[in-house]
């Protein structure tokens, strides 16, 4: 029976292993981190004080998957079809799925290697943050993206005086337009967070972050949340650009090696969200089971809750030349942005109330009918004939 | 405590000339008086809503001089001083009074006595000049005295009822209901409607003759000719008949000769025929001729003064007849007595102790305001009227009022277009507060009785007049203690010259005790049916209308009334349910012309411009528009009709040709339309097209349009409504020109609502009013407010039945559910079961194929 080896026990790897098992394949899942696979997307809850168990994904062993934690794969011996572990062991495979994900990027700043400079990616990172966080301790989060804001909100909830430094003019610029980001910023400011943006960081000192304009911002904790880089070390010998290049069947240039999730690059795109990663996991399992399915990237949507504020975005955000429709209720912390091209919905942002996200997901690519009704939501909308 | 525990007061409705009796309580329901002969318990939509008008907004509560509160003493001193100065500088010709058919007979009498007896001027005219003067002149020309020959019962007894220039269904709804009830009982009864427009009254008529505006004389010339040819004859008829024979009716009326022939045949064949006529006849430069042309047909056939047979003038106002009785018109002296008869003049002068009593008629309404504009009038006192809206050429009237050395105005409202221009404002009593008598269209005198305590320092008009007369040293002649005193004096005057042989002689009431006056039951003067012993057929040669369409102004604009409004809306405007059916003035045009003009029309005439929405009316011929005359600056600054109407008056009656005006109608391409609901009124400049209407709960709705960029238009509306502490929920689709906004106050309750789009939005205002009334809004309501309707709520639908607040959608639902008759619709949803004025519209919905949705 064909032996499938899934390397990486994040959400994509765990899901792929499970899908393989459900299709009757013999599958082994290995992860570099100790313990059971966990849901990295929900790390913020642990930062907020919840037990790590809230992150538990289904136990692989319970599903007939052989699971091996704490196992770092250093290279693939493609000729022998063996994966070589850090401690020199080897795992045989017939086909392998790389789900190695990505790692948080440590900015190459002077002082970035000090102990109080943390990343926000793993349970261990979260444990380190919690160890340093105390009431009134000044903290700086560098990066006003999704993860940075989650870390910042978490630290603020722990009592830290948090300043977020962001290189771009507004927060979460990949998921939000300026107006939605402003709503989010007001919401976070109301909870005590401070923002400096656009901010250019020059150096990290033991008790402060220094900006290029000389401003010093006191910080006993610094969290770097300036993005992730795909883990592509195991792609040695395969075609790799930013990620490991895969075709529509998620095969790398070696057809026995598939890649999914954040380490894979499909048609020039490297995903950074869980929805496409999980979709890739399912497609990979089907292909491994002999059911050829092409991977079609789902339109990106991100559902977040940042310090209690639901934020959701879908598709193209404020693209050039698109027609905007907006709903704003600044006092109520609500913002809704929709973008149409040729009368068809191509992107949406919901801030403050994301209850209609499913409706807009369904409207994507469809003629939208009455604009006001579209903006008001499903309770008022009759689909265009 | 509910108001029904008070005993009801028997009084009379303040609206039209039908003169319905009502039973009123201070805070209870207003009901029709079953014992009153005019209405026998019925009420129309306006009458039924009287209870909602008892607490008028913008009430004038105390005297004001030059914008400052003054005591009555100081104010009356100022009035007297102003009139004294004007008299000294310009003589009796330089002072004037302009009064109203809204006055009670006693107030009217006092005003006439003050003008003619104290000031020595005949420059006192009434807004009845705009309403009834042509009928008065016609009656006087035909039988020497202003006597309406018929009574309401004749309408029910007739076999043929001809309505000329009368939208009875909307303007005299209770009579219309009596007419329809009579026809229901006697289906052989026939109704003919003569009107350029197919009105609600024409629904269900056997025949509708859509003649050209102003061509009634020609049609009745054809009828007179036909009747003469049938062998009808009367003494002195020859000249009138031969004059009629010269008139080419088909060419002048534009009517199909077969239609004219059918009408003539019907009339000739029916002994019992009543011809009702109203503003469409009177408001014309040939108004008196039109009325005489009608009367001639009745005289020639002897169909007058008999059961079911009469020419019948319907008065517009509740007491137009009372004004005619006391002679409070520039062309009459007092009572039914005349300037031209020395004995009658001497008798009045003696009775009033007024040696300076004028010997000839004074200026009529249009002349007074023209003279005011020319600086020939030094002091003018208006009472209970709104000439800045109601007179033709009203732009000039406004300018004249603003230029007046002294303009005194007595009224209940301080916000009318006229009151805001007055130098001295006097607080008058409103309906329900004042006490006296009125006379309706069938010569029945009824008591109006007060049942409310006057607010502030409001006082009767007669009391204010007497106060000024006293300052002229005539306290002796104005020493009345109440309306009964005045009534007795007025009654005595009508018997002063018995040899004059007037039908109007109520001198038998001159000794009425106070108690008997208080208890006075409705009482008709003169015989029930008047068949004049000597009557004259007045020759009525053809004279074309003055206000004719031409190359520059190719559209004939008809002006007229709506079912639920009264005059310039000072009383009906504040009532939300009376505004519901027509919240904004709209120009009605033939559907093809309406489509060509688009949503908004610019109407030009007289160098003035109106801007109004457009509505399609298949009842209008090509080249003819209809615009309601009610709107004023208070409700629609851009939508007033009468600035467009040239000042042209009937040489016989002095009545202006208000009914139609030559105008140019052009498309006004709006770039946006908006609806606004707010706790405040938007100011006049908020948009070029602006109308306001009240909604329940002290809210105002506004309908607006503009030619600016929609985003700018929205921003301007937002600025106009914004206030400290308000926060906005906004929807914007700028490329579609779509903007919405809801402002919430500090408590989270909605305070203002804007919907702006490239097409006119049609929100459900009832729903919005309810949402505003609910206080702080939760998240779901905040969102629904932006939608302007509850989630998946019913589509907005106009109110058809004002009495029960039933929408068109509800009526259509009843029809869809199987209701096949007006009565069945009423059974299903109550529509049409109140005053019944909407029954023609329900019939129209029954006749129309329902459009599947």
Q: Report CB contact under 8 Å: A327, B729.
A: yes
In this predicted structure, the answer to whether residue A272 has a pLDDT above a threshold of 90 is no
Identify whether the C-beta of residue B674 lies closer than 8 Å to the C-beta of residue B754. Answer: yes
What's the pLDDT at A378?
Answer: 85
Distances (CA, A) of A129 to A43, A134, A188, B547, B671: 12, 10, 20, 89, 58
pLDDT for res B739: 96
CA distance A141 to B350: 104
* Residue among A326, A331, A376 minimizing CB distance to B783: A376
CA distance B60 to B425: 8
Which carries the bigger pLDDT value, residue B790 or residue A31?
A: A31
The pLDDT of residue B779: 82
For residue A103, which phi and psi values (nearest 5 degrees)? Answer: -125, 155
What pLDDT was estimated at residue B810?
84
User: How many Å is the Cα radius of gyration of chain B?
Assistant: 27
Question: How would you write B30-94 as a 3-class SS string?
Answer: CEECCCCCCCCCCCCHHHHCHHHHCCCCCECCCCEECCEECCHHHHHHHHHHHHHHHHHHHCHHH
| Residues of B in Cβ contact (< 8 Å) with A379 | 787, 791-792
pTM, two decimals, is 0.86
| pLDDT reading at B66 higher than 60 | yes
Hey, is the C-beta of A331 within 8 angstroms of any chain B C-beta?
A: yes
Cβ distance A325 to B728 less than 8 Å, yes or no, reads: no
pLDDT for A216-257, tens place per residue? Answer: 999 999 999 999 999 999 999 999 999 999 999 999 999 999
The pLDDT assigned to B283 comes to: 98
pLDDT recorded at residue B433? 96
d(CA B825, CA B846): 9
What mean pLDDT do residues B441-455 have?
Answer: 96
- B731, B755, B777: which to substitute to probe chain A, counting the most A Cβ within 10 Å? B731
Record: fold of B64-131+319-524: Rossmann fold (3.40.50)
Contact list, B727 vs chain A (CB under 8 Å): 329-332
Q: What are phi and psi of B205, to 5 degrees?
A: -75, 150
Query: Tokens 């309906």 label which residue?
Result: B431
CATH number belonging to domain B138-313: 3.40.228.10
**Which residues, at least 6 apart from B655, have a Cβ–Cβ distance to it below 8 Å?**
B129, B130, B131, B132, B133, B134, B282, B283, B284, B287, B288, B649
Q: Does residue B776 surpass a pLDDT of 70?
A: yes
Cα–Cα nearest to B625, from B645, B649, B654: B645
pLDDT for res B796: 54
Mean pLDDT score of chain A: 92
A124 close contact with B: CB closer than 8 A:
no
Higher-pLDDT residue of A42 and B89 is B89
pLDDT at A383 over 70: no
Q: How many angstroms separate the CA atoms of A147 and B108, rounded?
A: 84
pLDDT in tens, B651-678: 999 999 999 999 999 999 999 999 999 9
Residues from chain A that touch B731, judged by Cβ atoms under 8 A, are: 325-327, 372, 375-376
Cβ atoms B842, B806 nearer than 8 A: no
- CA torsion B285-B286-B287-B290 (nearest 10°) is -160
Among B337, B278, B356, B267, residue whose Cα is nearest residue B312: B278
Lowest-pLDDT choice from B138-147, B340-349, B433-442, B803-812: B803-812
User: To probe the interface with A, which of B673, B754, B783 has the most A CB atoms within 10 Å?
Assistant: B783
pLDDT-derived band at A385 (thresholds 50, 70, 90) equals very low
Interface of A with B in 346-375 (CB under 8 A): 353, 371-373, 375
pLDDT of residue A35: 83
Sheet of A82-85: strands edge to edge?
Answer: A73-77, A82-85, A90-92
Question: Please, what's the b/e burial string for B380-405 (b: 16 or more CB within 10 A of its CB; e: otherwise)?
Answer: bbbbbbbbbbbbbbbebbbebbeebb
Cα–Cα separations (whole angstroms), residue B427 to B227, B284, B410, B486: 54, 34, 6, 21
For the residues B593-605, what does the mean pLDDT come to?
A: 97
Determine contact, residues B649/B366, Cβ cutoff 8 Å: yes
DSSP B197: S
ipTM of the complex: 0.80
What distance in Å separates the CA atoms of residue B200 and residue A378, rounded to the nearest whole number?
A: 42
Question: Residue B423: is its pLDDT beyond 60?
Answer: yes
Substitution target from A345, A354, A372, A377 for chain B, most B beta carbons within 10 A = A372
Which stretch of A295-309, B174-188, B278-292 has the lowest confidence by average pLDDT? Answer: A295-309
Residue B852 has a pLDDT of: 38
Contacts of B481 (CB under 8 A, 6+ apart): none
Q: What residues does each domain of chain B span?
A: 3-53, 64-131+319-524, 138-313, 555-667, 672-787, 799-847
Q: Give the number of residues written for chain B.
A: 853
- The DSSP secondary structure of A158-226, one letter per residue, reads TT-EEEEE-SSSSTTTTT--HHHHHHHHHHHHTTT-EEE-S--EEEEETTEEEETTS-EEE-SEEEE-S
Distance of CA B154 to the CA centre of its chain: 24
pLDDT (tens digit per residue) in A180-218: 999 999 999 999 999 999 999 999 999 999 999 999 999
Chain A positions in Cβ-Cβ contact with residue B781 (cut-off 8 Å):
none
Q: Which range is least confidently modeled, A330-339, B343-352, B406-415?
A: A330-339
Using CA atoms, how far residue B629 sits from B223, B558, B562, B610, B693, in Å, is: 31, 9, 9, 12, 16
Helix, strand, coil tally for chain B in percent (to 5): 35, 20, 45
Residues 6+ away with beta carbon under 8 Å from B190:
B159, B160, B161, B206, B207, B266, B270
Chain A CB contacts of B735 under 8 Å are 323-324
Q: How far apart are CA A234 and CA A86, in angstroms?
A: 12
Per residue in B718-770, pLDDT (tens digit) is 999 999 999 999 999 999 999 999 999 999 999 999 999 998 876 678 888 88
Strand residue runs (E) in B440-527 = 444-448, 523-524
CB A284 within 8 A of CB A258: yes
Domains in chain A, CATH or no CATH each: 3-103+228-288 (3.50.50.60), 117-224 (3.50.50.60), 316-376 (no CATH)
User: Among residues of chain A, what percentage have pLDDT more than 90?
Assistant: 73
Up-side HSE of residue B102: CA atoms within 13 Å toward CB? 26
Report yes or no: A141 and A151 within 8 Å, Cβ to Cβ.
yes
If we measure between CA atoms, which residue out of B801, B820, B631, B624 comes closest to residue B198?
Answer: B624
Is A328 touching B (CB cutoff 8 A)?
Answer: yes
CB B280 within 8 A of CB B659: yes
Return the CATH number of B799-847, one of 1.10.10.1100, 2.30.29.30, 3.10.580.10, 3.10.129.10. Answer: 1.10.10.1100
Asked if the Cβ–Cβ distance from A326 to B731 is below 8 Å, we say: yes
Instruction: Indicate the helix (H) or strand (E) that contains B770.
Output: helix B765-773
Are A379 and B791 an interchain contact pair (Cβ–Cβ within 8 Å)? yes
Instruction: Give me the mean pLDDT over the B225-245 stretch.
Output: 96
pLDDT band at B851 (very low <50, low <70, confident <90, very high): very low
Task: Identify whether the C-beta of residue A369 lies closer than 8 Å to the C-beta of residue A384.
Answer: yes
pLDDT of residue B6: 66
The mean pLDDT value of chain B amounts to 94
Q: How far apart are CA B22 and CA B30, in angstroms?
A: 7
Contacts of B762 in chain A (CB under 8 A): none
Q: What CA–CA distance (Å, rounded) separates B600 from B615?
A: 9
Provide the pLDDT confidence category of residue B3 given band limits of 50, 70 and 90: very low
- DSSP letter string over B733-747? EGGGTEEEEEEE-TT
Joined tokens for residue B827: 């059974």
DSSP result, B106-164 = HHHHHHHIIIIIII----EEEGGGGTTHHHHHHHHHHHSS------HHHHHH-SEEEEE
Name residue, tokens 């300018």.
B399
Residue of B nearest to A327 (CA): B731
Confidence (pLDDT) at B474: 97
Could you say which of A334, A353, A372 has the minimum Cβ distance to residue B740?
A372
**Which candidate from A326, A330, A379 shows the least CB-CB separation from B727?**
A330
pLDDT of residue B797: 66
Q: In what side-by-side order are the strands of the sheet with B689-695? A: A301-306, A309-315, A344-351, A334-341, A323-329, B727-733, B738-744, B750-757, B672-678, B699-706, B689-695
Is A320 within 8 Å of chain B by CB? no
Per-residue pLDDT, B2: 43
Interchain contact, A331 vs B744, CB within 8 Å: yes
Quick one: pLDDT at residue B845?
A: 83
- Which pLDDT band, with edges at 50, 70 and 90, does B583 fall under? very high
DSSP B545: -
Of A56-65, A86-95, B51-60, B549-558, the poorest mean pLDDT is in A56-65
Tokens of B521: 């039951």
Cα–Cα distances (Å) from B783 to A177, A301, A323, B575, B778, in that order, read: 22, 23, 22, 29, 9
| HSE (side-chain half, CA atoms, 13 Å) at B376 | 10
What is the strand order of the sheet B64-65 is part of?
Answer: B68-69, B64-65, B424-427, B407-411, B379-383, B95-99, B124-126
Name chain B contacts of A182, Cβ cutoff 8 Å: none
Indicate the residue of A324, A328, A377 with minimum beta-carbon distance to B730. A328
User: Which CATH code for domain B555-667?
Assistant: 2.40.40.20
How many C-beta atoms surround the C-beta of residue A379 within 10 A?
16
pLDDT at B853: 33
Nearest beta carbon to residue B731 from set A330, A353, A375: A375
> Using CA atoms, how far apart are residues B347 and B337, in angstroms rounded to an integer?
9
Higher pLDDT, A62 or A259: A259
Residues 6+ apart with CB under 8 A from B61: B427, B455, B456, B457, B458
Distance CA(B526)–CA(B218), nearest Å, equals: 32
Which CATH number describes the domain made up of B3-53?
3.30.200.210
Q: Where are the alpha helices (DSSP H) in chain A?
A: 11-22, 43-47, 123-132, 146-157, 178-189, 274-288, 357-363, 371-376
User: In angstroms, how far is the first alpha carbon of chain A from the final one?
Assistant: 52
CA distance B785 to chain A (A): 10
Alpha helix segments (H runs only) across B310-443? 320-326, 342-352, 365-373, 387-390, 394-403
Q: How far apart are CA A349 and CA A364, in angstroms?
A: 12
Q: What local confidence, expressed as pLDDT, does residue B842 receive?
A: 87
pLDDT of residue B307 exceeding 90, the answer is yes
pLDDT value, residue A146: 87
Total Cβ atoms within 10 A of residue A190: 11
A113-172 pLDDT per residue, tens? 999 999 999 889 999 999 999 999 999 999 999 889 999 999 999 999 999 999 999 999
Q: How confident is the model at residue A37 (pLDDT cuts 50, 70, 90)?
A: confident
Q: Give the pLDDT score at A50.
A: 82
Handedness of CA B661, B663, B667, B668 (dihedral sign): negative
Q: Which of B729, B735, B787 sits opposite A323 (nearest CB)?
A: B735
Chain B positions with Cβ closer than 8 Å to A: 727-736, 738, 740, 744, 757, 779, 782-783, 786-787, 789, 791-792
Contact B110, B477 (CB under 8 A): no
What is the interface size between A and B, counted as CB pairs within 8 Å?
66
Query: Looking at residue B1, what is its pLDDT?
Result: 40
């Amino acid at each position: 029976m064909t032996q499938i080896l899934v390397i990486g026990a994040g959400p994509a790897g765990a899901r792929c292993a499970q899908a393989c098992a459900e299709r009757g394949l013999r599958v082994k899942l290995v992860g570099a981190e100790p313990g059971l696979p966990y849901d990295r997307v929900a790390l913020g809850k642990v930062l907020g004080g919840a037990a790590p168990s809230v992150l538990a994904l289904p136990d692989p062993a319970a599903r007939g998957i052989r699971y091996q934690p704490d196992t770092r794969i250093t290279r693939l011996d493609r000729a022998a079809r063996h994966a070589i572990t850090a401690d020199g062991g080897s795992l045989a495979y017939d086909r392998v799925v790389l789900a190695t994900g990505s790692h948080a990027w440590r900015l190459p700043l002077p002082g970035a290697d000090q102990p109080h400079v943390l990343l926000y990616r793993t349970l261990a990172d979260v444990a380190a943050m919690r160890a340093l966080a105390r009431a009134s301790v000044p903290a700086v989060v560098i990066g006003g993206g999704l993860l940075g804001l989650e870390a910042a909100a978490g630290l603020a909830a722990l009592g830290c005086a948090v300043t977020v430094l962001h290189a771009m003019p507004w927060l979460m610029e990949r998921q939000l337009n300026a107006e939605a980001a402003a709503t989010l910023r007001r919401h976070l400011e109301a909870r005590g967070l401070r923002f400096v943006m656009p901010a250019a960081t020059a150096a990290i000192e033991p008790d402060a972050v220094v900006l290029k304009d000389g401003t010093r911002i006191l910080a006993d904790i610094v969290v770097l949340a300036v993005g992730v880089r795909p883990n592509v070390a195991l792609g040695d010998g395969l075609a790799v650009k930013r990620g490991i290049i895969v075709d529509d069947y998620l095969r790398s240039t070696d057809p026995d090696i598939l890649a999914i999730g954040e380490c894979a690059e499909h048609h020039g795109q490297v995903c950074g969200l869980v929805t496409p990663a999980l979709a890739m996991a399912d497609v990979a399992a089907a292909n491994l089971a002999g059911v050829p399915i092409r991977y079609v990237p789902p339109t990106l949507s991100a559902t977040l809750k940042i310090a209690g504020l639901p934020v959701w975005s879908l598709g193209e955000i404020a693209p050039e030349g698109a027609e905007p429709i907006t709903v704003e209720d600044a006092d109520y912390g609500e913002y809704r942005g929709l973008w149409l091209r040729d009368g068809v919905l191509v992107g949406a942002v919901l801030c403050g109330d994301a209850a209609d996200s499913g409706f807009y997901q369904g409207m994507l690519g469809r003629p939208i009918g009455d604009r006001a009704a579209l903006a008001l939501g499903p309770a008022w909308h009759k689909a265009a004939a | 405590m509910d108001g029904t525990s008070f005993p009801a007061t028997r009084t009379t409705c303040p609206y039209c000339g039908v003169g319905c009796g009502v039973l009123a309580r201070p805070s209870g329901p207003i009901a029709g008086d079953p014992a009153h002969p005019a209405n026998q318990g019925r009420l129309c939509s306006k009458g039924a809503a009287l209870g909602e008008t008892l607490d008028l907004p913008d009430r004038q509560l105390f005297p004001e001089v030059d914008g400052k509160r003054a005591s009555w003493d100081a104010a009356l001193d100022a009035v007297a001083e102003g009139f004294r100065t004007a008299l000294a500088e310009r003589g009796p010709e330089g002072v004037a009074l302009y009064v109203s058919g809204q006055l009670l007979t006693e107030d009217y009498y006092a005003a006439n006595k003050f003008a003619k007896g104290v000031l020595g001027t005949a420059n006192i005219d009434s807004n009845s000049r705009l309403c009834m003067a042509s009928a008065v002149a016609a009656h006087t020309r035909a039988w020497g005295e202003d006597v309406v020959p018929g009574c309401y019962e004749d309408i029910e007894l007739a076999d043929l009822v001809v309505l000329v220039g009368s939208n009875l269904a909307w303007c005299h709804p209770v009579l219309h209901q009596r007419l329809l009830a009579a026809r229901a009982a006697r289906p052989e009864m026939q109704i003919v409607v003569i009107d350029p427009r197919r009105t609600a009254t024409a629904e269900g008529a056997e025949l509708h003759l859509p003649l050209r505006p102003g061509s009634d004389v020609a049609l009745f010339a054809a009828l007179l000719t036909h009747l003469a040819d049938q062998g009808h004859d009367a003494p002195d008829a020859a000249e009138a008949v031969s004059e009629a024979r010269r008139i080419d009716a088909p060419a002048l009326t534009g009517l199909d000769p077969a239609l004219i022939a059918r009408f003539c045949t019907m009339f000739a064949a029916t002994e019992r025929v009543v011809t009702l006529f109203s503003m469409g006849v009177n408001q014309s430069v040939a108004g008196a001729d039109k009325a005489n042309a009608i009367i001639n047909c009745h005289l020639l056939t002897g169909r007058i003064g008999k059961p079911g047979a009469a020419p019948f003038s319907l008065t517009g106002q509740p007491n137009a007849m009372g004004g005619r009785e006391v002679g409070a018109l520039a062309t009459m002296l007092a009572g039914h007595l005349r300037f031209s008869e020395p004995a009658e003049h001497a008798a009045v002068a003696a009775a009033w102790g007024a040696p300076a009593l004028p010997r000839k008629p004074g200026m009529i309404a249009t002349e007074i305001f023209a003279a005011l504009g020319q600086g020939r009038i030094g002091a003018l006192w208006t009472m209970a009227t709104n000439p800045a809206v109601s007179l033709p050429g009203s732009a000039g009237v406004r300018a004249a009022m603003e230029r007046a050395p002294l303009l005194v105005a007595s009224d209940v409202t301080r916000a009318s277009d006229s009151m805001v221009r007055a130098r001295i404002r006097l607080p008058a009593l409103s309906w329900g507060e004042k006490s006296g008598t009125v006379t309706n269209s069938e010569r029945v005198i009824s008591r109006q009785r007060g049942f409310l305590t006057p607010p502030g320092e409001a006082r009767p008009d007669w009391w204010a007049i007497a106060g000024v007369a006293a300052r002229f040293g005539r306290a002796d002649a104005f020493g009345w203690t109440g309306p009964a005193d005045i009534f007795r004096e007025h009654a005595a005057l009508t018997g002063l010259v018995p040899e004059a042989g007037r039908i109007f002689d109520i001198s038998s009431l001159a000794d009425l005790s106070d108690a008997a006056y208080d208890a006075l039951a409705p009482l008709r003067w003169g015989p029930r049916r008047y068949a004049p012993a000597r009557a004259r057929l007045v020759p009525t040669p053809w004279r074309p209308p003055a206000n004719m369409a031409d190359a520059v102004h190719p559209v004939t604009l008809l002006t007229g009334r709506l079912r639920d409004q009264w005059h310039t809306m000072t009383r009906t405007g504040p009532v939300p349910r009376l505004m519901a059916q027509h919240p904004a003035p709209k120009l009605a045009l033939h559907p093809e012309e309406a489509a060509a003009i688009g949503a908004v029309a610019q109407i030009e005439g007289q160098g003035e411009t109106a801007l109004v929405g457009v509505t399609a009316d298949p009842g209008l011929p090509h080249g003819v528009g209809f615009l309601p005359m009610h709107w004023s600056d208070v409700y629609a600054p851009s939508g007033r009709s009468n600035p467009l109407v040239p000042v042209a008056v009937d040489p016989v009656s002095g009545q202006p040709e208000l009914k139609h005006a030559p105008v140019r109608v052009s498309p006004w391409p709006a770039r946006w339309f908006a609806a606004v609901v707010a706790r405040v009124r938007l100011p006049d400049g908020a948009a070029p097209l602006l109308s306001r209407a009240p909604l329940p709960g002290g809210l105002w709705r506004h309908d607006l349009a503009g030619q600016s960029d929609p985003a700018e238009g929205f921003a301007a509306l937002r600025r106009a409504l914004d206030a400290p502490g308000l926060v906005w929920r906004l929807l914007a689709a700028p490329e579609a020109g779509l903007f919405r906004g809801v402002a919430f106050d500090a408590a989270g309750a909605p305070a203002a609502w804007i919907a702006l789009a490239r097409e006119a939005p049609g929100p459900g205002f009832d729903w919005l009013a309810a949402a505003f009334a609910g206080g702080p809004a939760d998240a779901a309501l905040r969102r629904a407010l932006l939608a302007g309707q509850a989630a998946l709520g019913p589509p907005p639908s106009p109110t058809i039945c004002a009495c029960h607040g039933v929408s068109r959608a509800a009526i259509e639902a009843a029809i869809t559910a199987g209701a096949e008759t007006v009565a069945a619709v009423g059974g299903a949803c109550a529509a049409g079961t109140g005053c019944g004025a909407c029954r023609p519209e329900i019939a129209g919905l029954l006749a129309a194929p329902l459009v599947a949705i």
